[in-house]
Structure 1
């Protein structure tokens, strides 16, 4: 796979993650955040084990430390995000989660001892400004869900850096497999003794969470082998565009001028990075 193909795959992953956010919001109307997270991790784990048993994929752990770091940080970050979606406005939860590219870039800079170029920093800031305009968050008062959203952004930023590094040695399926194991271990204590079977109304949204989260995570994990942390982080912001479009289309939310400007910033950033990747390949 070329660098350009990796960037395109990242855009597809971001699309799936944006769709997943919509289904998480719908599922949270009927089911608790911890239960949604546990079902999501368990279902993905069982699908991977079935694929291994059928001989379609192979799980082989090489860099245990980084793969487990990605799993633990990613599991915590996803759980915090699900709680944030349930506890505050979806727009607030989204923009606070999407602070993770800033944290990921800072973590990567520290990890590699490198500084971001001015051009990449401008693209990163412009894309984040686009995300902010899209979700139009209201911070009149800081709620617990907002704090959870900030914590999810910080944690996912670390998960992305460890994911990028672990892709140098381990396959996407291996990393995804241990991500699900860590996620189950983290969310299970929160549902033991409190578990209630999801009502029939939640089964459709829960299925959407499982399918689109799995596609998004696998494609994102694969794509990070061919993109830098900063490039992948900027491209992944396209997920906010997708989530906002679904809100307008399916939830009758208004198409504000800020949304249109923000979407343009994110899309232009993605197109620019993809074109640059093609030229430098």
Structure 2
């Protein structure tokens, strides 16, 4: 995205999908970001994906689209999920459609997942939340949940270990819950550091709590933003998406 175009679309709505969501481009701290915000209640449409019914992993957004198409469904939106292990399994808590596949990880280790505090993005019938791992004590049935890290924003404050101007920059994607309880996904258009990405959620998107999902390989499927799921050879583990009946006019 050029600097001129970014300035023109600093927080402009590019398109609105057929359901309750808004796709926008945001220019923040010298970088461009694509943002996908769901309306209140639309978090119930989010689905988590890892493996097909035969136990084989989807592996990519493109493969997920093809599998959905054979079942008469259409992918409307998707991002890759949280950080995963070297064995290509979820690194921490993972619940899909009410079934828990991996338990909550409270220990320490290396890498971004263990840049504490880390956290959990989860959905119940009452809505969606992002919380620190230590605060994950849901009282309601969990429909979907994923643990990742680090937290980007914690109760209105930036992660304490983020440094402005830090040299480590990557493509990054994450999820936050804004002050109205709406789920917001964002991905950078170019490499950024954690400080820039965290302040996007805290200052621009008004999310008191936000969670990092993944880095360099991250991708988004959002035709309204001219994003089509990344490169074919990038292997994902879990993915988060929204689907519709194939006949619904929700994408070009």
TM-score by length of 1: 0.26
Structure number having the greater helix percentage: 1
Higher relative contact order (CA 8 A, sep 6+): 1
TM-score by length of 2: 0.28
Query: Which structure's CA Rg is the greater one?
Result: 1
